[in-house]
Amino acid sequence: MTPPNPELRNPRSHRAILDSTFELAVSKGYGKLTVEAIATAAGVGKQTIYRWWPSKGAIALDAINERMGHLTDFPDTGDIEADLRSQTTALAGLLSSDIGIVYRGVIAEAQSDPHLAANVRDAIVGPRSKLCRDRLERAVTAGQLRGDIPTRAMVQLLYGPLYYRFLLGTDDVQDAPELVGYILAGLRTHDS
Amino acid sequence: MTPPNPELRNPRSHRAILDSTFELAVSKGYGKLTVEAIATAAGVGKQTIYRWWPSKGAIALDAINERMGHLTDFPDTGDIEADLRSQTTALAGLLSSDIGIVYRGVIAEAQSDPHLAANVRDAIVGPRSKLCRDRLERAVTAGQLRGDIPTRAMVQLLYGPLYYRFLLGTDDVQDAPELVGYILAGLRTHDS
Amino acid sequence: MTPPNPELRNPRSHRAILDSTFELAVSKGYGKLTVEAIATAAGVGKQTIYRWWPSKGAIALDAINERMGHLTDFPDTGDIEADLRSQTTALAGLLSSDIGIVYRGVIAEAQSDPHLAANVRDAIVGPRSKLCRDRLERAVTAGQLRGDIPTRAMVQLLYGPLYYRFLLGTDDVQDAPELVGYILAGLRTHDS
Amino acid sequence: MTPPNPELRNPRSHRAILDSTFELAVSKGYGKLTVEAIATAAGVGKQTIYRWWPSKGAIALDAINERMGHLTDFPDTGDIEADLRSQTTALAGLLSSDIGIVYRGVIAEAQSDPHLAANVRDAIVGPRSKLCRDRLERAVTAGQLRGDIPTRAMVQLLYGPLYYRFLLGTDDVQDAPELVGYILAGLRTHDS
DNA sequence: TTCTAATCGAGACGGTACGTCAAGTCTTGCC
DNA sequence: GGCAAGACTTGACGTACCGTCTCGATTAGAA
């Protein structure tokens, strides 16, 4: 009936659930992750999980989100290519780590769970995308990048190939930063 | 013990299974697709399904593969941008159709099923990728595109943003062809 | 640890619990009665219930006990058959009423709860049995009934068929008083 | 949808379920009997239980029914009192045995499950009642018992006190046969 | 033409996990 | 300290599917 009161939430259980979820997803594989196993591993009742999350994907999303780290500003050394390259390298490293294993599962589950998909966009993709666009915006203002391409599109040109490799497994994600140069070639102003 | 003999296979059952799978995946959603429901809908015993496919993802893969149509050659009008744009438009249309609904589910399942992932690459992604690379190769030879970028990478630059939109749902896939021009800008030779 | 102090008990909560229990048991059926529902309906915390009663059967027992009415003396008109018949009719009416619905549930629960069973005997069956035996005793003294049969047994001969119908549902409990005459035939002295 | 086909039933599982149910009910107590425990003990899936029985009460009923033994004819030595006494003794023994423990639980559950109650009457109470009435009928015909009392009522006079002791626990069921004489006193013809 | 062998529809089976319900305990803050 | 409120662990519920396993009943060459 009434939604639970977040202030009365037990922080220990909360922590244990997120931690157990992450560890189990990594060790057993996301596909074999079950709410029951999470509850057992966290020493928690299943109801406590269902009280706060609608699906295991939602838990996993929370678990990886807090592990993806602080959204400090994008690096801004003035050199847009170097900045994008270092950022892309960081993201590629993330996707290749344990976090990537779980993230992959979350994205998979989101394919048939529109609500989860929206949460992924809001919590993970959106904010990081925003930071990237901000940096790109500055490069446009500085006359380094073309002003006639929406930064929204630029972000997709940059990250698209990364996710392509990540989700289709055609190539090693870690090598994706190599592609940055090719993309930038099309985004630069002629005199930069 | 012994693998089944394909010659003794009942073609009617085969057809019914693929058709029912596709229809159910579209109507109920891939996530709610079950082998049991396929068997019932196809008027087929469950064993008959398990005799020929290892998982529902494998069935769905077969079902969409035959619906994706003939792999004729890439269009080659001599105008590389027009060719890529028309090809990308075709792919975007595909991903936005019923086939896309099922394909999305197959990719999701492939995230935790390496065997299925390999099949997706071999049956769907690879062949289409190959055709694209062939066309790109010709454009390179014709001096329209830079020769110092592997066509393998070019394909990812082109299709990456498409799959990004398809799987993350940030933007309408149908609008993806707009991005082709931006990518090509970086791939062209200076004098083209 | 320490048992609660009955003097500090909130009479309003006490009343609300007993009333809600009875009403819920009647309306939803004893089998679907839950402590949680009682607490909610009574506007009371669950702990308040558990502080004063060990099980829902115990609450229900209290609830029906106070509704079964004052244990005034058995009627004693001098006509033992008429007295037993009127008494039996009263009991049959009780068992056929809402009270019977709850009583049935309490007896059921008592089958696997010896403590509750003892309470049922002490609070409900015993006292009424005692009154009946007192009346029978007077009839024995008056020479109307045989003196060689324990009144304890007589009570069971009289009430047994009633409970038989009540708990096994073979016949309408309301018709049970008809049986009194048959039983008495065997209990009378020859010259009565 | 469609009810399962009894011919395809696995007899080994059937047996194991009934046996495990009986043993668990006796060892743990009927109140602590769970479908899950039965399934585990019988080495059977829960679904297999739910496929064939609607509730644990129904399983337990089957289990005790087959253990209550052959419904051979009532003894008929010509001496109605001896016959009833021996029969009552047998029933009292039954109720005092392990079977009684389970039967008690079934009757309890039947109090809030009309369908089960009907099954108890049909499978247990009814047939035994019928045999008793047949014997009583013969005694009536032989002029030993009064013809103006329905045998249906006689049965309740005889068994009522037994069930009263059994379900209310006021006295030892084993001593119930003592009561037969008192009841018969009222049922006999004057010249018998 | 009968025999033999494999596939087929059907569906029961032992399991695993689901998401829900309620039990009884514990904690917090008000009266 | 009792109380209302409600989150907690525990454990069972009844359901849905999984993938395996009999069953007869076709069906198809091989004898």
Q: What are D52-77's pLDDT values in tens digits?
A: 999 999 999 999 999 998 777 788 99
**B3 has a pLDDT exceeding 80:** no
Q: Do both A97 and A154 map to the same domain? A: yes
Q: Is the CB of A149 under 7 A from strand E?
A: no
Percent of chain C with pLDDT over 90: 88
**How high is the pLDDT of residue C1?**
52
Residue showing tokens 């239980």: D49
Separation between the CA of D8 and the C1’ of F24 (whole angstroms)? 12
pLDDT band (50, 70, 90) for residue C88: very high
| Of B131, B126, B127, B119, residue with least CA distance to B61 | B119
Residue A38, in any domain of the structure = yes
Is the pTM higher than 0.85? The answer reads: yes
Nucleotide nearest to D36 (CA to C1'): F12
Q: Is residue D59 in some structural domain?
A: no
- For residue B35, being part of any structural domain is answered with yes
Indicate if D127 and D85 belong to the same structural domain: yes
Rounded distance between C-alpha atoms, residue D107 and residue D110, angstroms: 5
The answer to whether B125 contacts A168, with C-beta atoms less than 8 Å apart, is yes
Give me the CA B55–C1' E6 separation in Å, rounded.
23
One domain for residues C172 and C95? yes
Strand nucleotide closest to residue C50 (CA to C1'): E24
pLDDT for res D191: 58
Please write the tens of the pLDDT for every residue from C34-44.
Answer: 999 999 999 99
How many DSSP H helices and E strands does chain B contain?
A: 10, 0
Task: Decide: helix, strand or coil at residue C145.
Answer: strand
C-alpha A93/C-alpha A162 separation (Å) is: 11
Residue B85 pairs with which residues in a beta bridge?
Answer: none
Instruction: Please tell me whether residues D77 and D150 are part of one structural domain.
Output: yes
Instruction: Tell whether the model's pLDDT for residue B74 goes beyond 90.
Output: no
* Average pLDDT of the segment spanning D73-102: 93
Q: What is the CATH number of the domain that holds C17?
A: 1.10.10.60
Nearest to D160 among C29, C160, C185 (CB): C160
Q: Which domain holds residue C17?
A: 6-52
Binary contact (C30, D162; C-beta < 8 A): no
Q: Within a domain: residue C57?
A: no
A41 and A126, same domain (yes or no): no
Q: What is the mean predicted confidence (pLDDT) over B142-151? A: 94
pLDDT at B6: 82
D145 forms beta bridges with D188
Residue D117 falls inside a structural domain: yes
Q: What are phi and psi of B144, to 5 degrees?
A: -85, -35
Same domain flag for D27 and D94:
no
Chain B residue closest in CA terms to A103: B111
Which residues in C lie closer than 8 A to residue D125 (C-beta atoms)? Answer: 168, 170
C41 touches strand E (CB under 7 A): no
**Same domain, residue pair A172 and A87:** yes
The C-alpha of D163 sits at a distance from chain C's nearest C-alpha, in angstroms, of: 6
Phi and psi of C33, rounded to 5°? Answer: -75, 130
Q: Which residues of C touch D120 (CB under 8 A)?
A: 168
The mean pLDDT value for B178-185 works out to 93
What average pLDDT is seen over chain B?
94
- B182: pLDDT strictly greater than 70: yes
From A86's Cα to the closest Cα of chain B, the distance in A is 19
C89 lies in the same domain as C172: yes
CATH at residue D165: 1.10.357.10
pLDDT tens by residue, C126-162: 999 999 999 999 999 999 999 999 999 999 999 999 9
Is residue C2 predicted with pLDDT exceeding 70?
no
Residues D93 and D166 grouped into a single domain: yes
Cβ–Cβ of B104/A111 closer than 8 Å?
A: yes
Nearest residue in chain C measured CA to CA from D178: C153
List CB contacts (< 8 A) between D160 and chain C.
Answer: 157, 159-164
**List of chain A residues with pLDDT < 50:** none
- CA gap C187, C143 in Å, rounded: 11
pLDDT, averaged across chain D: 94
Same domain, D113 and D153: yes
Burial A71-105 (b: 16+ CB within 10 A, else e): eeebeeeeebbebbbbbbeebbebbeeebbbbbbb
B107 contacts in chain A (CB < 8 Å): 108, 111, 167-168
